[in-house]
Chains A and B, each alone.
Chain A
Amino acid sequence: MKCSHTWFDENVARTLADESLRAVIGQTSQSKIESRVVATAKVPNFEQLRDLATQIKQHTIEHLDHYLERFIEQVRANGGIVHFAATAADANACIARIAQDNGLKLAVKVKAMTTEETGLNAALAAAGVQVFETDLGEFIVQLDNDRPSHIVTPIIHKNRQTIARAMQRELGVPYTEDPETLTRYAREHLRDVFRRCDLGISGVNFGVAETGTICICTNEGNGRLSTTRPRVHVALMGIEKVIPRLVDLSVFLKVLSRSNTGQPITVYTSLMNGPRRESDPDGPEQLHVVLLDNGRRAIQQGRYREILHCIRCGACLNACPVYRHIGGHAYDSVYPGPIGKVLTPLLNDPKHYADLPQASSLCGFCRDVCPVRIDIPDLLVRLRRDQADGKAVPWLRRLAFRALFWALSTPRLMRWSQRVLRWGTVVGAKGDWNSRLPGPAAQLTRHRDTPRPAAKTFRDLWQSERDRGDQTDQ
């Protein structure tokens, strides 16, 4: 049994101890899951839409190169500039270079998971670009020098008091616990930034191969401001975000926000087709699309490509009983929750994140709410099997499971080991239960009692019943 504690064990212990955190994450997630149920029940063909969304994603990821080529052609035809980034560092360097080449100094950002993944803010700061997060949640994260804990609602872990203190300290505004006033402070502060900014950075929800359209879904309006006001717009897009046709958007937009907040559609759905044309009175002069690989190509070639179907709705986080208890920070990863348990070890060092695929009860709620029907439990089991085949499992645990396999597949050994274990657990036992096992087995009884093998095993009972039957027959 594993005795050493990993960073994940420590994170879990720490977050579990924080009862108020658990309460707020539990409540918010529950209310979102309930909104999802209400919203999807209003759409009679929702299950068929999920099927369609799944098939389109399957097809597109299967033919990723084909659709990426078309997408690139169309973006260029619209007057956009396409860049390729093999790694996170490449993406950051590319965007920093765009900023330097154009003399851009003040960037506004729309919340984008790809930029979290590459750590873009730090790279731009190093290049002398001042970066403002403009999504309210991300803005507060940045003010408070914190990290987001959910891919859609980044400050689910913060209460109004901590937010108020951060604004008071960093913006010099009066302390208030009124969310409306706090929101107005952010609006006023960022209005001035939107007036002066020269670089807008966004992610991409969907990239349409047919038309070269990039689609961004937001609620606050910062997405529109950040892609309208600055001179240059840079979109950092994961290569798996491409979809074949414009009309496919009607399928994805219908399932995306219903799956998370329960809205029929986000307040703003922005479809952008290149930089400002002569007939356009406003909008950015340059549009750059940076295509990010950063491990996705390898996933697409392998056995986990299904995870690339993800449209980042966040429903699996809201559903996950583990996420609801430990929150997003415990995963120490850009992508927390069920999606993160699969994606994070695949995109990063699998050894460092070896605990994540294990941190699931495989209850399957994530699969049930996934708009593109990703079978996350199945992927987790496959990841676990890979770990067992590789060296990610500690030798003591491997030895224990090897012994168990041997015992379970050899009848005589099974019988013998049950007897041995019955007597081996006698120290500290209360009847058929033991609450204080000795040595390395102590881990088994740290949080719960462990049952001892029965004094009379099933096989003993079976044998004696048969003996009795034989006697009555005679």
Chain B
Amino acid sequence: MRRSVTRQIVPLPAIDPSVVRCCTPDVDLAATFCERASEVGMHVVRTTSGICTERVAELVGNVATRLGIAHPKLIIDLQLAERAALCATLADRATVLDPHDGDDALFAADIGITSVEAAVAETGSLVSVSGQEGWRSTSLLPVVHIAIVRAAQIVPDLYDLFESRLPKRIPTAITLISGPSKTADIEGILITGVHGPREVYVIVVDK
């Protein structure tokens, strides 16, 4: 077969943000993010930085009660600013496992608490990256994932994330999380919590 002479050579199109963006920077990003994150099935809590730790501790208690776990086992992202405060607050109510203990700790945990690299308002996505003690398993293996998002981390659109928001040296793993683990393989019925977390809580911290 020969190459047809009339074949149109298409140049690589420029990505014009005004065309690609589904969510523009002029909207209330935190409000849009909260709305979209709820739409994809995550539970959203808004709080201010001062009471963030208390809100997380309260959430851990509620989740444990509902799941019928008397003394939940947690893994907490080592990068998380509130880690020390959380460990202190939860000391008598939960066990904080060290992910360095390996698979035993990772597979035993009921709840994983993480920070995020960014969040995307358009899709309600959490953006998690590996590296610097960022365990890929923390947001994946436990049945409940709690993520802490600072309002300033929210970007409008996927375009903004890929265009400018990622670290200069691209991390090994970048994961966009948009909801709890889902399947509709059996007769099209939506079920959450197949292999990943069944419940995802997002705590949005305003300044």
Q: Which A residues are within 8 Å of any B CB, using their own CB?
A: 24, 27-28, 31, 43, 45, 48-49, 52, 55-56, 58-60, 62, 134-137, 140, 153-156, 159-160, 163, 179-180, 182-184, 186-187, 190-191, 194-195, 211, 213, 219-222, 224-225, 228-229, 244-251, 253-254, 261, 263-277, 279-283, 301-303
Contact = CB atoms under 8 A, between A and B. Distances in A.
10 contacts: A27-B188, A59-B12, A136-B194, A190-B195, A213-B170, A222-B195, A228-B136, A267-B181, A277-B172, A280-B173
B188 A28 contact: yes
B181 A219 contact: yes
Interface stretch (B50-58, B61-69, B87-95, B156-164): B156-164
A333 B11 CA distance: 35
Given A155-B186, A271-B175, 20 more contacts: A45-B19, A48-B19, A52-B13, A56-B13, A58-B10, A59-B12, A136-B183, A137-B183, A163-B186, A179-B191, A190-B195, A194-B195, A195-B107, A222-B195, A224-B195, A250-B157, A250-B159, A271-B176, A282-B135, A301-B3
A52 B20 contact: yes
B1 A301 contact: yes
B172 A228 contact: no
A357 B135 CA distance: 49
B63 to A, nearest CB: 18
Interface string B164-207: 00100011111111111111111111010111110000000000
B81 interface: no
Contacts of B19: 45, 48-49, 52
A370 to B, nearest CB: 17
B130 A280 contact: yes
Contacts of B115: none
A267 B140 contact: no
A208 to B, nearest CB: 9
Interface of B: 1, 3-4, 7-13, 15, 19-20, 22, 36, 40, 99-100, 103, 107, 122-125, 130-137, 140, 157-159, 161-163, 166, 170-189, 191, 193-197
A28 B172 CA distance: 37
A229 B7 CA distance: 46
A179 B183 CA distance: 10
Among A45, A213, A247, which residue has the most Cβ atoms of chain B within 10 A?
A247
Contacts of B196: 220-221, 224-225, 267-268
Contacts of A273: 170-174
A283 B136 contact: yes
A159 B130 contact: no
- Between A140, A224, A254, the greatest number of chain B beta carbons within 10 A of the residue's beta carbon is seen for A224
A301 B3 CA distance: 7
Contact of B107 (A191, A271, A301): A191
A327 B42 CA distance: 34
Nearest to B160: A250
A134 B173 CA distance: 20
B158 A253 contact: yes
Contacts of B8: 58
A162 to B, nearest CB: 10
A9 to B, nearest CB: 30
B145 to A, nearest CB: 10
Contacts of A62: 7, 9-10
Most interface-central of B99, B125, B178 (chain A CB within 10 A)? B178
Contacts of B182: 219-220, 267
A275 B176 contact: no
B22 A43 contact: yes
Given A187-B195, A277-B172, A303 B4 contact: yes
Nearest to B164: A247
Contacts of A245: 15
Nearest to B39: A264
Contact of B177 (A31, A228, A268, A272): A268
A281 B181 contact: no
B135 A250 contact: no
A140 B170 contact: no
A220 B183 CA distance: 6
Contacts of B125: 265, 269
Contacts of B107: 191, 195
A283 B184 CA distance: 28
Q: Which of A24, A58, A59, A268 has the most CB of B within 10 A?
A: A268
Nearest to A217: B176
A142 to B, nearest CB: 13
A221 B185 contact: no
A28 B191 CA distance: 16
A224 B140 contact: yes
Contacts of B179: 267
Question: B3, B12, B174 — which one has the most chain A CB atoms within 10 A of its CB?
Answer: B12
A296 B195 CA distance: 33
A272 B172 contact: yes
Given A219-B183, A271-B174, A264 B188 contact: no
A266 B131 contact: no
Contact of A221 (B20, B161, B195): B195
A191 B159 CA distance: 35
A263 B125 CA distance: 12
